[in-house]
Amino acid sequence: MSYCLNPSCPNPQNSTQTSVCQACGTKLLLRDRYRVIQTLGQGGFGATFLAIDEALPGQPNSVIKQLRPTATAPHVLEMARELFRREAETLGKIGNHPQVPRLLDYFEANQEFFLVQEYVSGSTLQQIVKRDGPLIEHGVKQFLSEILPVLEYIHSNRVIHRDIKPANIIRRAQDLKLVLIDFGAVKYQNQQQAANASEQTAFTSYAIGTPGFAPPEQMAMRPVPASDIYALGVTCIYLLTGKSPKDLDYDPTTGELLWQRHVHISDHFVSVLKKMLEVSVRHRYQSANDIFRALDLEPYLKSLESGMTNQTGNASRKPNGQRSDPDSTGGGVPSSPAARAAMAIRARQIRPESISLPSGANRNNLFDSRASSNTSVRSRDISGGRGREFTGEKSKVPVRLDAEGLQNYYLKGKRDFASHDLNSLSLPKVNLSSASFHQANLSKINLQGANLFSTDFGRANLSRANLRDANLIKAYMSNADLEGADLRGADLTSAYLLNANLRGANLCGANLTNAKLTEDQLAMARTNWMTIRPSGKRGMW
């Protein structure tokens, strides 16, 4: 079918090979290449269509947005044009990210504006929840681990999305990655005051964003990056409950969304979501990194608490076995820094960087101990499809997992694979974000194209590992052995590589923007002109 884009056409549907609309005479082939075949939807300022590009081999699909405001007042038309121009400018600026649609074309025809962008095949999160039901806590945390890097990326480009919601996040069918769409409501943080003033005049009657998802400061035309954090928090509530904001109650005195009685999640995750949903922007998380820090500590709370309690609890004991703790106050409150930190961790009220350590203590060593605990460990060996429970102490070697077993454990919420022998496993394109492989043997493992975002490889053996095109953003690789590893095309943005062995590692085409490593380390590896250095530039250091 060929669809006519003339808003006043009485019968826009035409046969596939028609070049001119049979009802109104409008030319059907836009720019002599784009043939609209289906309508996708219409909002306040534009209509969206599915089209094929007849000028390219294979006639790939694309999305065409047509400026089509429902109101005709001059200031509304002016605002619609501005929003349309912004979306094209934004996609042209940040559309090189694999989870943001690419801008393909932007033009005016017959005094109408058109924007052509990459077609993303898949289902929105709204459609997925309506079809499959709400997610559990682990599923929502996995969602955050996938979407927060995208949010961090657009914010780093000084862009505020302003319309984050389940309907604007697609699970792409091709690779199952999340894609953030609809950049028609974006705002740039570096706009000048004069530009802001004119915007206020034009937008007075049209607060940008979706009611319920947009926070108060955004509805008052004062959006900041943390406004997207609020909308993301509301999206998490929708994923957990299947309820839109309009279906939930509000506290009439504070304006807070009343959602907690509708969910069954851990106290720690409740605290994270509450801070994402703070009505006061100053008390809300200010960046995606803040949320990562809050979530990254959780899997290690018990081992941290245990290790720090043992550190203080074993300090002094009487001969008869009674504890004599000089660090405790008379009221039973520990006074030493480590003991207070253990108590604070139990209360889940602190971040790693806020822990006060005893004089001379090493913060990195403290948090490296998260991968081990003095308590018993329960694991399962499902090699060959069989399950076998075992309990062992720290000194015992964990039962070896095969590739299927590792993935099954991860899907069930297990994140700690410290000290495991996983050499030579084949796990291409696997998702193991935020897992811990501290001191694990990963020699010759195949993790090509894997999602290893914020994964702990501290002191792990990754010699001759295949990490080509892997997502290693914010990976912790201190003291890891990466000798001879294939890291071609890997994204190591903000990865921590200090003291890692990079002798013979192939970093050709790798992205090391803001990565922590020394010039001497990099000199030991193989690089080329496509390697992005920690400075963010290609070429010389």
* Percent of the chain's residues with pLDDT above 90: 36
Q: Which of 164, 231, 223 is nearest to 188 (CA)?
A: 223
Q: What is the pLDDT of residues 488-509, one digit of tens each?
A: 999 999 899 988 999 999 999 9
Buried b (16+ CB within 10 A) or exposed e, 248-287: beeeeeeeebebeeebebeebbeebbbbbbbbebeebbeb
pLDDT at 69: 60
Q: Where are the alpha helices (DSSP H) in 113-220?
A: 125-132, 137-156, 193-203, 216-219
Q: Per-residue pLDDT for 165 more than 90?
A: yes
Q: What is the pLDDT of residues 255-270, one digit of tens each?
A: 899 999 999 999 999 9
Q: What is the mean pLDDT of residues 433-460?
A: 92
Q: What is the mean pLDDT of residues 329-353?
A: 46
Q: What is the mean pLDDT of residues 315-335?
A: 43
pLDDT at 449: 94
pTM over 0.85: no
Q: What is the pLDDT of residues 16-49, one digit of tens each?
A: 888 899 889 888 888 888 999 988 877 656 688 9
pLDDT at 329: 42
pLDDT at 184: 65
Give, in order, the Cα–Cα distances in Å from 326 to each of 221, 312, 355: 56, 10, 20
Q: What is the mean pLDDT of residues 530-534?
A: 90
Please give the backbone phi and psi of residue 47, each rounded to the nearest 5 degrees, phi first: -110, 150
Q: Which of 169, 244, 250 is nearest to 213 (CA)?
A: 244
* Local confidence band at 387 (pLDDT 50, 70, 90 cut-offs): very low
Q: Per-residue pLDDT for 232 more than 80?
A: yes
DSSP 357: P
Q: Can 481 be counted among the known catalytic residues?
A: no
Please return the burial class of 324, using the count of CB atoms within 10 Å of its CB with bins 0-12, 13-18 and 19+: exposed
pLDDT at 369: 32
pLDDT at 31: 87
Q: What is the mean pLDDT of residues 339-352?
A: 47
Residues 6+ apart with CB under 8 A from 519: 541
Q: Bigger pLDDT: 489 or 198?
A: 489
Q: Which of 475, 470, 440 is nearest to 456 (CA)?
A: 475
Q: What is the pLDDT of residues 121-155, one digit of tens each?
A: 999 999 999 999 999 998 899 899 899 999 999 89
Most confident of 184-188, 322-326, 352-356: 184-188
pLDDT at 416: 85
Q: Map out the domains of the chain with their CATH numbers.
A: 2-118 (3.30.200.20), 122-187+206-296 (1.10.510.10), 411-541 (2.160.20.80)
Q: Which of 53, 163, 290, 416 is catalytic?
A: 163
* Local confidence band at 186 (pLDDT 50, 70, 90 cut-offs): low
Q: Per-residue pLDDT for 411 more than 50?
A: yes
* Percent of the chain's residues with pLDDT above 70: 73
pLDDT at 32: 86
pLDDT at 510: 93
